[in-house]
Amino acid sequence: MSPRHQLEMLYSDMLNTEVNGVKLIREVEGTANADKKEFIFKNTIDGFNSYMSRNALPMDREEMLENIKMLEKMSKENISVDIFKSFLEGYIKVFDVLCEKAKNCYADQDKLHEYEIKSSPFARKASKAFSTSQALTGYGAAMGIMKDKRIIEDFGSLEKIVKDIEDNCIDDKEGEWFMEFLKRMDMIKVKAKKIGNAQRMYLEYFYRELFNEESDSYADLLFICNNSAISRIDGIDSPVQ
């Protein structure tokens, strides 16, 4: 049995349950509809794994097994499920505000042409983009690193952060920040050697800037997307403006 299957089994009782109105479904049951608050269970496990490892990138077999051993010990103390639920509850708050701030923006062909997005977009809607494994792993790694650095205390810190994002009256026409986000993801697709890894790293930086009160980008989605961190990502051939 693969490490991935072992980790999924550890939290298998969460399958087909709802957390803050979001239902966790198996990938084989069909494509999850994020607009109807459905997340693929595997993606949430990927994100939680990144939180525990403080790393947005996939782990090798040895690292995964070490994490599983640690989580098994936690489960015996009856606290691991609570941590996983806290992880998800925090992300759902972030997911909801990102979708709200995207203002139902849909990346149709006209918008793709306007923003010079040449390849197929990472997603057409914010709900799809931020229910992906890349989005959840970036969030997980960002939260873990920021907690270790004492930039945030715990998942409860997201209450204030989400409210500040909600209250930030950015001059954003029709979800402009989301189109700028897709443009950055398109740049990664064109330039990165390992696209999936580069996307995860970009999203980690995205959340770390968004959640850090000491950052110029704090709670400001448009500012973050217009001030790309792509040049900091390993595997990008050259800086992108």
Write the single-letter amino acid at 122.
F
Least confident of 40-44, 71-75, 170-174: 71-75
User: Confidence band (pLDDT; 50, 70, 90) for 239?
Assistant: very low
pLDDT of residue 232: 61
Tokens of 176: 């402009």
Residue 99 has pLDDT above 80, yes or no: yes
Q: What is the pLDDT of residues 221-235, one digit of tens each?
A: 999 998 866 556 655
Contact 97, 90 (CB under 8 A): no
Stretch 74-81: mean pLDDT, rounded?
A: 50
Give the separation between CA 228 and CA 217, rounded to whole angstroms.
Answer: 11
Tokens of 206: 């995205």
Write the single-letter amino acid at 100.
E
pLDDT of residue 238: 43
Contact 125, 105 (CB under 8 A): yes
Question: Looking at the chain, how many residues does it have?
Answer: 241
Residue 68 has pLDDT above 80, yes or no: no
Tokens of 9: 């089994």
Q: Where are the domains of the chain?
A: 3-232
User: Confidence band (pLDDT; 50, 70, 90) for 74?
Assistant: low
Least confident of 4-8, 93-97, 153-157: 4-8
Residue 220 has pLDDT above 80, yes or no: yes
CA-based nearest residue to 175, from 209, 221, 114: 221
User: Confidence band (pLDDT; 50, 70, 90) for 135?
Assistant: very high
- Average pLDDT over the chain reads 85
